[in-house]
Amino acid sequence: MRKAKAKLRSSHIGLKVRDIIKELTNGQSVNPTYWSFKSTLNLVINDQLITLTFKPVRSAFTINLVWGPQALPMNYLFSDPYGRVIMSLRDNEIIISCDGGNLLIDLTDSTTWIPRTLKPVSNCRTLSPNLIIKASRTLRGLASIVGCGIGNEVISAIKNAARRLARTSLENYAEFLHELIKSLGLGDGLTPGVDDFLMGAAGTYNALIRLGVVKHQRFSVSFSELLRRTNTLSAMMIEESLGIGLNEGIDGAAVSHATQDYDGLINSLITLLGLGHSSGYLQALGSLTTLCLSSSDSLSLGDCVRNVFP
């Protein structure tokens, strides 16, 4: 059978990926673990996650690809999950060979994407609770129009966790996030619903700490704990979102809050909806829950979940 060959251009390459790729100049990576879908290929190389995607959402561990004349869906090439895969770098071109054929990624025009939440914001002034609640209403309306639904079991799990800690303030927010970990893996999809909500909530919380909006301890959880609760890929994505591997939607939401940019917040929420299905919507709800709690000392977790959640 003739082997397929796809040649793609990269528009953006995440900060972390650039470093991982550099290591390939000294050799090859053989048989990385991978998950392939139509628009996205997730690879794990030396315990590091790399996402190659046609979707226009950037992150530090993502290589964004342009759908062009030599493109093919990812699962067209990577159809055998047990097949042999060899990845190497040559002349600014990543070459991924698999049983289905060859994928060549031209990095020549690729711009490095750097999260905006890497450094603190000077003269931080945050959005008011009213604006965060208004943004939540807009998000819910848009999610309904776009057709992003959430399973009832996911809503119940998140609301139950919040109910148990309804009086929690931002100071004790980590308790709520730890409570959510007990429900990881709940929901449909590659990244189950509760996992997505945690990515948004905890990712935004840690981003606000980096930006200097919140003066608490960074939230963390061991990878082995995540793996006990959910699938490998989702666990890796949660781990990334807690650090600088958060996606541009969560990154943008945190920065918009810290710079009183309401338009920027709405744009970031729309970006998150582009993650598809319910993932982006739940990440956005998680992010808004955190932003709401950080917007006023007088609001409790219970107040925020009531206002933000559908």
Partner 1 sequence: MPPSIREEVEKANAEAVSRLMESEPYWVGMGVAEKVIPGLKGMKLLHAGPPITWERASGPLKGALIGAVIYEGWADSPEDAERLLRREEVVFEPTHHYRAVGPMAGVISPSMPVFIFKDLKYGNEAYSNMNEGLGKVLRYGAYGSEVIRRLKWMSDVLYPVLEATIKEIVRDNGKGLNFKNIIAQALHMGDECHNRYVAANSLLLKEIAPYMFSTGIDRGDILEAYRFIAKNIIFPLNMGMAAAKVMTLAAHGIEYSTIVTVLSRNGTDVGIWVSCLGNEWFTAPAPVPKGVWFPGYSERDANPDLGDSSITEAAGFGGFAMAAAPAIISYVGSTVEFAVENTRRMYEITYAKHKYFTIPYLGFQGTPTGIDLRKVIKTGITPTINTGVAHKKAGIGQIGAGIVTFPIEPFKSALRRFAEKYGL
Cα–Cα dist 304/293, whole Å: 6
Minimum distance, C-beta of residue 145 to partner 1, in the bound complex (Å): 6
- Chain residues binding partner 1 by CB under 8 A are 4, 9, 38-39, 54-57, 66-73, 76, 137-138, 141-142, 144-148, 266-267, 270-271, 273-277
Cα–Cα dist 104/97, whole Å: 9
Helix (H, G, I), strand (E, B) or coil at 105: strand
CA dihedral 128, 131, 135, 137 (to 10 degrees): 120
CB 186 within 8 A of CB 153: yes
> Tokens representing 170?
């931002």
Q: Where are the beta strands (DSSP E) in the chain?
A: 4-14, 28-30, 33-36, 40-45, 48-53, 62-66, 85-90, 93-98, 101-106, 111-113
Contacts of 68 (CB under 8 A, 6+ apart): 8, 9
Minimum distance, C-beta of residue 93 to partner 1, in the bound complex (Å): 15
Cα–Cα dist 149/169, whole Å: 29
Minimum distance, C-beta of residue 66 to partner 1, in the bound complex (Å): 6
Nearer to partner 1, 56 or 83 (CB): 56
Nearer to partner 1, 70 or 111 (CB): 70
Nearer to partner 1, 137 or 218 (CB): 137
Minimum distance, C-beta of residue 259 to partner 1, in the bound complex (Å): 18
Nearer to partner 1, 230 or 256 (CB): 256
Cα–Cα dist 265/139, whole Å: 10
Buried b vs exposed e over 192-205: b needs ≥16 C-beta within 10 Å? bbbbbbbbbbbbbb
Nearer to partner 1, 55 or 216 (CB): 55
Minimum distance, C-beta of residue 144 to partner 1, in the bound complex (Å): 5
Nearer to partner 1, 226 or 273 (CB): 273
Minimum distance, C-beta of residue 110 to partner 1, in the bound complex (Å): 14
